Amino acid sequence: MGGISSADFEGLYRAHAGEILGYLSRRADASDAADLLAETFLCAWRRRGDLPAPDQRRAWLFTTARRLLLAHYRHPAPRPVPTVEPRQPSPATTDGLNTDIVAAVLAELREPDRELLTLTVWEHLPVVEAGRILGLSGGAARVRLHRIRQRLAADPRLVGLVEVSSPRMGGTPTKPHAQDPAPSGGVAQPAAC
Per-residue pLDDT tens digits for 79-102: 555 555 544 444 544 446 678 888
State the angle between helix axes of 30-46 and 6-25 in degrees (0 to 180), rounded to the nearest 10.
150
Q: How far is CA 7 from CA 46, 52, 56, 84, 102, in A?
A: 15, 17, 18, 35, 42
Q: Can you give the pLDDT at residue 168?
A: 42
Q: How far is CA 181 from CA 55, 120, 126, 147, 175, in A?
A: 13, 14, 8, 20, 18
Report domain extents, the chain.
Answer: 6-73, 97-169
Q: Does domain 97-169 have CATH number 3.40.50.300?
A: no
Contacts 24+ apart (CB under 8 A), 143-151: 144/112, 144/113, 144/116, 145/116, 145/117, 145/120, 146/176, 148/109, 148/113, 148/116, 148/117, 151/109
Per-residue pLDDT tens digits for 107-161: 999 999 999 999 999 889 999 999 999 999 999 999 999 999 999 988 888 877 7
Greater model confidence, 193 or 175: 193
